[in-house]
Structure 1
Amino acid sequence: MHLDQFNAASRTEAADALRPCLDIQRWIDGLADARPYSDVEALLAAGRAAADPFTAAEIGAALARHPRIGERAQGDSTEARLSQSEQAGLGAADAAVAEALADGNRAYEEKFGQVFLIRAAGRSREEILAALTTRLAHTPEEEQAIIGQQLREIAVLRLEGLMGR
Structure 2
Amino acid sequence: MTSRPTPGLTRLNAAEDSAARAALRTICASEAWVTAVLARRPYSDTRALCAAGDTATAALTAADLAEAMAGHPPIGRPEPGDPRSAREQRGMADAPAALRAEMLELNLAYQERFGHVFLICATGLTADRMRDALRHRIGNTPEREREIVREELGKINRIRLAGLAEAPDDEGAPPP
TM-score for the superposition, normalised by structure 2: 0.84
Aligned counterpart, 2:93: 91
1:150 aligned residue: 152
Aligned mates of 1:6, 1:137 — CA distance in 2: 40
Bigger shift: 27-36 or 39-48?
Answer: 27-36
Q: CA RMSD in A?
A: 1.7
CA contact (8 A) 2:91 2:127 kept: no
Contact 2:33/2:60 (CA < 8 Å) preserved in 1? no
Higher RCO, Cα 8 Å, sep 6+: 2
Deviation at 1:89, TM superposition (A): 4.7
Q: Which moved more, 1:136-145 or 1:8-17?
A: 8-17
Partner of 1:47: 53
Query: Could you report, residue by residue, the CA deviation over 1:50-81 in whole angstroms, capped at 9, with x for unpaired residues?
Result: 1103211111122223211101314x5xxx44
Structure 2 residue runs without a partner (length 5+)? 1-6, 168-176
Which residue of the partner structure matches residue 134 of structure 1? Answer: 136
Counterpart code for 1:65: G
Q: Give me the whole-angstrom Cα distance separating, in 1, the residues matched to 2:79 and 2:12.
A: 27
Point out where structure 1 has 5 or more consecutive residues left out of the alignment. none
The answer to whether the 8 A contact 1:40-1:163 is kept is yes
Q: How does 1:2-151 map to 2 (within 5 A)?
A: 2-74=8-80, 76=81, 80-151=82-153
2:13–2:43 CA contact under 8 A, matched in 1: yes
Report Cα offsets for 1:67-113 as digits up to 9, x if no partner: 11101314x5xxx4432321135430012221221121121122222
For the 8 Å contact 1:90–1:120, the answer to whether it is kept is no
What TM-score do the two structures reach when normalised by structure 1? 0.89
Q: Equivalent pairs: percent with the same residue?
A: 39
**Distance in 2 between residues matched to 1:160 and 1:2, nearest whole Å:** 9
Q: How many residues align?
A: 161
* Corresponding letter in the other structure for 1:7: N
Distance 2:40 2:72 in 1: 27
